Chains A and B, each alone.
Chain A
Amino acid sequence: MKKWIVSILAVIFVMMALAPAAFAESAPPSNAKKGDFTSVDPATHTAVFQPVDSDQPITLKLADSIKAEDVQLNDRVLVSMSDVNGEQVASEISTMFIGLTLDKLIALLLVGLVGGLLSGFIGSGGAFVLTPSMMALGAPGAVAVASNMCHKFPKAMVGTYKRFKYGQVDVKLGLVMGVSSIVGVELGIRVQEKILDTWGSTGSDLYVSFVFVIILVVVGAIILRDALTGSKTVNADVMPKLALAMQKIKIPPMMNFKKAGVVLSAWVTVPIGFATGLLAATIAVGGFIGVPGMIYVVGASAMVASATELLIAFVMGMWGSVEWALAGLIDIRMTLLILATSLIGVQLGALGTTYVKDHTIKLVMASVMLIVAVSRGVKVPVYLSKLGAIDINTGTADILNALSFWTLIAALAAAGFIIASAMIKGIARAKVEEKEAAIAEGA
């Protein structure tokens, strides 16, 4: 076991050196610059920009979509730049740090709590709702992704520690899956970049949404069906057929995953990890692929799969954070405010798993995946209209965007409700069992 861990850690470090972007699932933008505008000239539609990492101010042409009077002077901003005919153009300007008013503070604490609860319970949950939430509060996309990433690794670390103590984490499986998925993520990012270059940002959004919705609906439906039939059958721990087929492949080297209770060929495990990474790079939510992959292809229980996913999230989140920190895009205030409640949530979710059966974890996961799929699905017409394929007015687009956001909030609320009620029932049942055991002992 020790030899295994040492060799896998060595592979991780080599991969870190070779593929720094891989861990981040999405890399920091190279065309965004931080700094302040010092003056604006409406006549030429230009502005003087002072980047934080240089002493030389740059004169930027403002894109047509940006009004000169909207440019705030001496306010820390993030500027997306593009090179048009040898001239540097500011295509997007966003204030880097949101003003933390009381309502925003409460919103961050609330989403942090439920995001943490979900993470502790199903192994993933957060990025898909925390990033859009921060953006809805006014943070630029890159800062929202960075701040979420920096909150993800300490949360996953605390969650992994708790669930390891409960004996649910398969360290070897987590490391093998983590390392092999890095290779997949790396390739996935290349595919993404190719799509971005060919179809532009709207085309890329459309492609990501399309893959996202298809994967979430298909995988979510499989898990839901399994959770509903599993809750009725007496023996719910039946190994999925696909996992049984995989275990019949006996090409050496064979890997023994003790906690998951399976022996698999490396020729099966590594491609699963690779495919997981490839898809995760596209939809940016690794857990929605990793956990079902570990359940239905590897053959681990939902309990072990969701716990092991936390370890993978920690490894990936840690390096992702280093990368986003180097790019200087983390808003530590948002990170720490979310952590304030998510560290409570993740531990509550983790201990909650000890009171429920496997099918409850699957039920929560399926519900979240399906509602999140709806949330992304309603945005497809907006992307299509931006591409000019269909025609919808701004009012409809705003309604669809709002609907998408509130569906996400509904996903969180629904998951929080299922977890809380399952836990309360489980704790009450455990108390009754304890009392009965005490009476039996006394008699």
Chain B
Amino acid sequence: MANSTKKKPYLRMTALGILSLVSYYMLLTNQNLVTEYFIKGGIYAALPIITALYFSFVHGTFASDLLSIMGLSAKGSSH
């Protein structure tokens, strides 16, 4: 791990981290609007599914980069 030659994804982590933070900020500052539309059912059922997928890609990739920058990667993967 220490002798890893792989470039660490600092830029991507920062960009996705900011995007994730802004997304969470928007969610928490618009709670009434969000909860109003997300429980309508029918075609609106796509909203929670798409939002969960969006957060899992943005925040999930950010988390992955964060762990690798912290030096936490799978055994043997850094070689």
Binding site for B on A (CB under 8 A): 34, 52-53, 76, 96-97, 100, 150-151, 153-155, 157-158, 162, 165-166, 321-322, 325-333, 335-336, 339-340, 343-344, 347-348, 350-351, 354-355, 426-427, 430-431, 434, 438
Contacts and interface: CB of A to CB of B under 8 A. Distances in A.
B55 interface: yes
Given A52-B40, A97-B35, A355-B75, A344 B67 contact: yes
Given A154-B53, A330-B48, A354-B76, A347 B35 contact: no
B52 interface: yes
A325 B55 CA distance: 17
A323 B19 CA distance: 29
B48 A434 contact: no
A430 B75 contact: yes
Contact of A426 (B3, B28, B64, B75): B75
A346 B8 CA distance: 21
A333 B52 CA distance: 10
Contacts of B41: 53, 325-328
B75 A336 contact: no
Given A162-B64, A347-B67, 14 more contacts: A100-B28, A154-B55, A154-B56, A325-B47, A330-B48, A331-B35, A332-B52, A333-B28, A336-B52, A347-B60, A351-B73, A354-B77, A355-B75, A426-B75
Interface of B: 1-3, 24, 27-28, 31, 34-35, 38-42, 44-49, 51-53, 55-56, 59-60, 63-64, 66-67, 72-77
B63 A344 contact: yes
Given A335-B52, A354-B74, A430-B1, A328 B44 contact: yes
Contact of A339 (B31, B47, B59, B75): B59
B59 A340 contact: yes
Given A321-B52, A336-B27, A343 B59 contact: yes
Contacts of B60: 154, 158, 343, 347
A333 B51 CA distance: 11
A438 B72 contact: no
Contacts of A166: 74, 77
B42 to A, nearest CB: 7
A335 B53 CA distance: 11
A328 B52 CA distance: 15
B52 A348 contact: no
Nearest to A28: B41
